[in-house]
Structure 1
Amino acid sequence: MPVMNTYQYYWRVEPFIRFYCDIAEDPFKIMHEEKRAYGFTMAMLEDRKTIRQLWSNTLEFFESEHPEYVGKRNSIKFITHDSETHTFEPRNYNLCHYWSNFEIADLNFFRSKEYEDYFQYLDATGNFFYERWGDAPIHSLAVSYLLPFKKIHYFANTGYYHKPNFDCPSDPDIFNALHCKCEPARSFTNLAYSCVPRFLLAEKADLEENTKV
């Protein structure tokens, strides 16, 4: 999209959302100073019926067509963590995705040849139409294969609301400091369908793996 050529970052903001906490820091400054490429505040499970072939097509692209595109340090653990066995199953997608109605990203990631080739490969299947593929799982799979955890930022404690879900800090000190107006006990982040705990667990496992002497 030519109109975006002069921009490096974007923040997706949809109608009727709310932020029930103060945003204490400039999100774009965080992304830039910490050299992050993708930021999110909620993550959840996708409806399997809407992505029947997305995972198999993704495996075909990254494992058969372009294995050289897979980042040496990637974040695949996030999308392959099995909550029942507490293991990482490299070929099994757990349906987790970053909720893209709040996403802050470096446009250079989406302009990259790797992402563009992946998107065109998926588009050629026709399944955006036939299966109703959405942007959230596709962005999430691409981020997981192409970016390491250190390039991904979890924006916690935003008080973000998008019907029907919201995030709310559980720490009383943070809740008060950010003047939050939400109910911590009902925060989506703490519910079974949230994938934020899996992200944090996978990020920790990756860090431990890569700091072993």
Structure 2
Amino acid sequence: MRLYFFSGLTTSCNTLKFDSLKLHNETSNHVTSNNITDESYWYYKNSVDGLWRRWDISVNSETNVAAWKMKWLNQEPKNILGVIVYLTSVRELPQLNISLLSLRQNLFKPRPIVIFHEGDFNNVNVQLALATTLGTNIPISFEHIRFPTKISIKSKIGDLRLGYNHMCKFFAIMLPYHPLISSTFTFYLRLDYHSYLLGPPLTYDLFDHMQINQFQYAFLMVSTDELKFVRELWVLFQEFLNDSCIKPSSAVKKTQITAATGLYSQAVVFNNFEVSNGSLWRNEPRIHAWLRKVDNAQGIYMYRWGDAPIRTLAVTQFLDDNQVVKFRDIGYFHRREYTCSSRMHSCSIPSYHRLASHIVYREGCHP
């Protein structure tokens, strides 16, 4: 492994202040109830007390909040340094099962896994089957969440893909404000149901490595997003920097601006595999302000902004070189893209991953 240049220092005016965004002893406005009364909000449900709580990014989730109580299968986590998270549904169960099996085969040490879902994983038999896939050493739990069903936003690029839009907002903005991350675990590894570790098995623990080296963010692969899916995002980012009296970082200039044209490069980190310190997205005032700006602009729903470009802009602008790492020794496959571990001259795709076409990201990069 080696550090990647993907981030740089931030320069700002001496007068820059974020007083209105400080996360200080705010009173939580979470609504606790047996039932959901307003379908326009996000909610999460506790598996122990069975109560729904309103999910909001405007409150300090870490104030006066005890560790989130959960029901675990296999065993309780041995520590709370890090957790692996998925957002999926039972229709993706076969692929999810293979993904979990790849973790069992390739993780350096057992780490807890949490499946976020909209209620279709409440079936105990399904939960037990996935726990069996992992074996007895890896804890697994299931977190029931509810997306808003009343959305008044109209898409400007065609039909509104509400489920996909919710997923993008979940990973771009909401996840660090869930008590699993805000009051329990320090780091999280985000994976998708079609994320697979290819091997060879890891020789170190990802979360230990992040903590020891004081990394805040880690990734595997980079690419470029389609122009039609980042419409108006760069304009919003420039507006945010100007309004906040912040100059573009050296990393933004190097990776997000095309040298020949001065236009937005659309370069993104593939955050379907990302390791992050959850507090980064809540407690760094400039990042918190950027996420609020994105949320208020409603571009995730209007323009189908993905979580990858939203997070990439934050990482390149606000993190220093020594806070970010690009892993090169992890073999990984996602949908039809894959990268091989630097510990291997080449890697083969298992038969259950083979498609008519797939794309290799050499050293994690494409093109």
Offset from partner CA, 1:130-152 (integer Å, 9 cap, x none): 10011110000001110122211
Give 1:89-168 correspondences, 5 Å limit.
Answer: 92-111=263-282, 112-168=284-340
CA distance in 1, matches of 2:339, 2:256: 21
1:50 counterpart residue number:
229
CA distance in 2, matches of 1:192, 1:143: 17
Aligned length: 177
Give 1:5-20 correspondences, 5 Å limit.
Answer: 5-20=183-198
CA distance in 1, matches of 2:258, 2:276: 24
Give, in angstroms, the shift of residue 32 of structure 1.
Answer: 0.9
Offset from partner CA, 1:61-81 (integer Å, 9 cap, x none): 01x11134x68x763222235
Match of 1:78 among 241, 244, 255: 255
1:41 counterpart residue number:
220
Choose between structure 1 and 2 for higher RCO, CA contacts under 8 A separated by at least 6 residues. 1
CA distance in 1, matches of 2:363, 2:188: 28
Offset from partner CA, 1:145-170 (integer Å, 9 cap, x none): 1012221100113110001100014x
Q: Aligned with 1:18: secondary structure?
A: strand
State the TM-score, normalized to the length of structure 2: 0.44
1:2 counterpart residue number:
179
CA pair 192-34 structure 1, distance change in 2 beyond 3 A? closer
Q: Is the 8 A contact 1:74 1:148 kept in 2?
A: no
Q: Is the 8 A contact 1:75 1:143 kept in 2?
A: no
State the TM-score, normalized to the length of structure 1: 0.74
Q: Is the 8 A contact 2:339 2:364 kept in 1?
A: no
User: Higher helix share goes to which structure?
Assistant: 1
Tell me the amino acid that sits aligned with residue 119 of structure 1: L
CA distance in 1, matches of 2:239, 2:328: 34
CA distance in 2, matches of 1:93, 1:134: 15
1:182 counterpart residue number:
348
Q: Aligned with 1:161: secondary structure?
A: strand
1:210 counterpart residue number:
none
Q: Aligned with 2:256: secondary structure?
A: helix
Q: Is the 8 A contact 1:46 1:95 kept in 2?
A: yes
Offset from partner CA, 1:18-63 (integer Å, 9 cap, x none): 211222221111211111111000111001101110001001101x
4+ runs of 1 displaced by more than 4 Å?
none
1:29 counterpart residue number:
208
Q: Is the 8 A contact 2:215 2:325 kept in 1?
A: yes
CA distance in 2, matches of 1:190, 1:26: 21
Unaligned runs of 5+ in 1: 195-213
Q: CA RMSD in A?
A: 2.4
CA distance in 2, matches of 1:130, 1:60: 18
Unaligned runs of 5+ in 2: 1-177, 350-358
CA distance in 2, matches of 1:2, 1:24: 30
